[in-house]
Chains A and B, each alone.
Chain A
Amino acid sequence: MAKTNAIEVKNLVKTYGNVYALKNVDLNIADGEYFVLLGPSGGGKTTLLRSIGGFIRPDSGSVNIKGQNVDDLPPDRRPTSMVFQGFALFPHMNVSQNIGYGLKLKSIDKNIIENKVNKMTDLVGLKGLSNRMPHELSGGQQQRVQLARALILENDVLLLDEPLSALDAQLRKDMCIELKRLQKTVGISFVHVTHNQEEAMSVADRIAIIADGEMVEQGTPKEIYSNPKNKFTAEFIGEKNIFEGKIKDFNKTKVVVDIDNDNIEFANNNYKVKKNQKVSLSIKSESIQIKKISKTNSKILNNQIVGKISEITFLGQFVRYLVVLNNKQEIQVRSYEEIVNLKVHDTVSLSWKLEDFLLHQN
């Protein structure tokens, strides 16, 4: 059975003077879905989230939550809760008071509030910290208080505005696992804004890429990462190498693109192209194989190009090689093992599987 929509956004427009923060944005988020709005800073993702939460009134368009139009409702009357970027805990209240504040506003019995607060502090891993003041907590603990404070109201949707941006890398990874676990436990829709693609990939059921106020692309993390339809998505997600060129030749199975002094051959994935058409190509840095050219293996195949190593960097889990092609373009290659005989200034051949290159029409 198809899932119902928790959020429906239609034709949302928001301008600040002459600048469009949102341009006719459409979005559907299913019930119980972990949805991530991903994009560069200033792209409009927080504006979209705040429009859903009722903190911004859009110029036009509509927002429906659980089938109810909420365009004219202020934040306190929308079935949403928000987790803010800068924690936004109330510094004059302790952990329990912060978490229970929303219930207190509903004039719920004190004993019931206490019960629910205790359950919630256990759920988010804050047991024993109920009487601490916010400034006595670490960043991760403060973020857990925010989560508990938002979740205790049992609203239909939880909005998270860059919730992990103030945390260090390791804590961010831990919190991603925690967020995903929480979302599965409570079963409501989470809408999470971030500019960090690793964070997005690790929590999302679906991701929407937003840039310049426009919805660029939507899909599952795998679709977005492995098969981005848009050049911007390809550039934004992961370490992608983008090539600009013209179609030189094509048939049902293969396409050849001329990128200045080199030809790139790759699989034709039903692309609708014509000769001399300008196109962009992308390939993930880990999909390129790098090999030193020696006198014995100097033959260059169709799906190979030649370049010179300009930099080798050890990055923990992998080694990154920067290779300069004949046309001076720099290519990144990731290898999970250091290739012993490769040095800076070595001439190398770069090869790929035909299906690893993706074509984006300009």
Chain B
Amino acid sequence: MLLRDDFQPRWKLALKWGWLSFAVFILMAPVFYTMYISFNELGFGAKYYIFTFQWYESVFSDKQLIGSLGWTMLLAIITLPIVIPFGLLSAKLYKQSQHKVGIVFVLLSPLFVPADILGSALLVFFKNLNKFFTLISEYTGIYVLESWFDLGIMTAVIGLIVYTLPYVFVVIMITMARYKVEQTEAARDLGASAWRAFWEIEFPQIRAGVFSACAFVVILTFNEYTRTSLLKGGFDTFTSVLISQMLNTGMSEESYAMASIVSLVAIIIVSIILIVTAIKTEELEKITRVVKEPNK
């Protein structure tokens, strides 16, 4: 274990944990400060602090903010059922393939392209695709495909898929690494079809990873600004509203409240994922120990 050494003095161990806690605190301090401000009736920069829930109340009456929240959730809901199976299949392919480095490189490459460049590239690509389909429509008289790639939900979702797939792939791949393929073979041998072997044997064991990936997609959808702003067309997302408010008028107190809600939800989700993963890991380690040392 990383921070444990049976022979080191207790104060050294305490120092290590203290340092780790301090690092986490520094990382999370801006989020906690945002939450702190969100409860101040006098808002950011005020000399006095008067505790209130009023900004939270007004968040739910801010139609633009609530509307943008709805659009963001919609994008996440549409992205999820596309990107999760895609990531799952990619992780399965990775596990079975002998060309693991190549697969990792291809799937993680969107992470290495700057967000604005990838967003612009997709924008240009969709514009050209639209022109191409318009041309085809004019020649054939079939107008079905003409406006498929107009900026809107579909293009924003494609942008999100490109952005979130590497994360989904990595999270599922890590969970899947512990799964023993022999169990699928055993299920097939007992008469299960490939689908039933996956659904009844493999999926229950990688479920934590799949649910974690779902949570990551939702969080990343809230987090994403550059690509979505370029590809979304006419509607507003939560991040785009937040940033435009900051650029135009500075952050409103409602924005602090909204940011706090989103941060809190994200922290809760990630904490649950970590706790469930830790429990599952401990269970799996127990099983592995029994298999490795069968006579104990």
Which residues from chain A contact B290 at a C-beta distance below 8 Å?
A: 134-135, 137-139, 142
Contact A88 B204 (CB under 8 A): no
Which residues from chain B contact A194 at a C-beta distance below 8 Å?
A: none
Contact A84 B182 (CB under 8 A): yes
Contact B196 A80 (CB under 8 A): no
Chain B proximity mask over A142-185: 1 for CB below 8 Å, otherwise 0 = 10000001100100000000000011100100000000000000
Interface membership of B180, Cβ < 8 A: yes
Contact A166 B294 (CB under 8 A): yes
Distance in angstroms between the alpha carbons of A139 and B294 in the assembled complex? 4
Q: Pick the contact of B295: A53, A135, A139 (CB < 8 A).
A: A139
Chain A proximity mask over B281-296: 1 for CB below 8 Å, otherwise 0 = 0011011001101111
Interface membership of B1, Cβ < 8 A: no
Contact B291 A166 (CB under 8 A): yes
**B: number of interface residues (CB 8 Å):** 26
Distance in angstroms between the alpha carbons of A91 and B189 in the assembled complex? 17
Chain A proximity mask over B184-208: 1 for CB below 8 Å, otherwise 0 = 0111111111001000010011000
Which residues from chain B contact A272 at a C-beta distance below 8 Å?
A: none
Interface membership of A340, Cβ < 8 A: no
Which residues from chain A contact B204 at a C-beta distance below 8 Å?
A: 92
Distance in angstroms between the alpha carbons of A166 and B290 in the assembled complex? 11
Interface membership of B120, Cβ < 8 A: no
- Which residue of A is nearest B183, CB measured? A88
Which residues from chain B contact A75 at a C-beta distance below 8 Å?
A: 185, 188-189
Distance in angstroms between the alpha carbons of A101 and B191 in the assembled complex? 9
Distance in angstroms between the alpha carbons of A320 and B189 in the assembled complex? 45
Interface membership of A67, Cβ < 8 A: no
Which residues from chain B contact A89 at a C-beta distance below 8 Å?
A: 183, 186
Contact A76 B185 (CB under 8 A): no
**A: number of interface residues (CB 8 Å):** 35
Distance in angstroms between the alpha carbons of A105 and B190 in the assembled complex? 8
Contact A81 B189 (CB under 8 A): yes
Interface membership of A13, Cβ < 8 A: no
Q: Pick the contact of B201: A80, A81, A90, A137 (CB < 8 A).
A: A90
Distance in angstroms between the alpha carbons of A8 and B260 in the assembled complex? 70
Distance in angstroms between the alpha carbons of A281 and B295 in the assembled complex? 41
Chain B proximity mask over A118-139: 1 for CB below 8 Å, otherwise 0 = 0000000000000000110111
Report A141 CB to chain B, min CB distance, Å.
Answer: 9
- Which residue of B is nearest A74, CB measured? B188
Distance in angstroms between the alpha carbons of A326 and B66 in the assembled complex? 96
Chain B proximity mask over A70-105: 1 for CB below 8 Å, otherwise 0 = 000011100011101111111110000000011001
- Which residue of A is nearest B291, CB measured? A87
Contact A82 B186 (CB under 8 A): yes
Which residues from chain B contact A171 at a C-beta distance below 8 Å?
A: 295
Most A CB contacts (10 A, CB to CB) among B190, B191, B294, B296 go to B190
Which residues from chain A contact B192 at a C-beta distance below 8 Å?
A: 76, 101, 105
Q: Which residues of A contact B (CB under 8 A)?
A: 53, 55, 74-76, 80-82, 84-92, 101-102, 105-106, 134-135, 137-140, 142, 149-150, 153, 166-168, 171
Q: A55-B185, A137-B290 are in contact. List 15 more A-B contacts (CB 8 A).
A: A53-B189, A76-B189, A81-B190, A84-B185, A89-B186, A90-B201, A91-B283, A105-B190, A134-B287, A139-B290, A139-B291, A139-B294, A139-B295, A142-B294, A166-B294
29 cross-chain CB contacts under 8 A: A53-B189, A55-B185, A55-B188, A74-B188, A75-B185, A75-B189, A76-B191, A76-B192, A82-B189, A84-B182, A84-B185, A86-B180, A88-B180, A88-B186, A90-B187, A90-B201, A91-B205, A91-B284, A92-B204, A101-B190, A102-B190, A106-B191, A138-B295, A139-B294, A142-B290, A149-B190, A150-B189, A166-B291, A166-B294
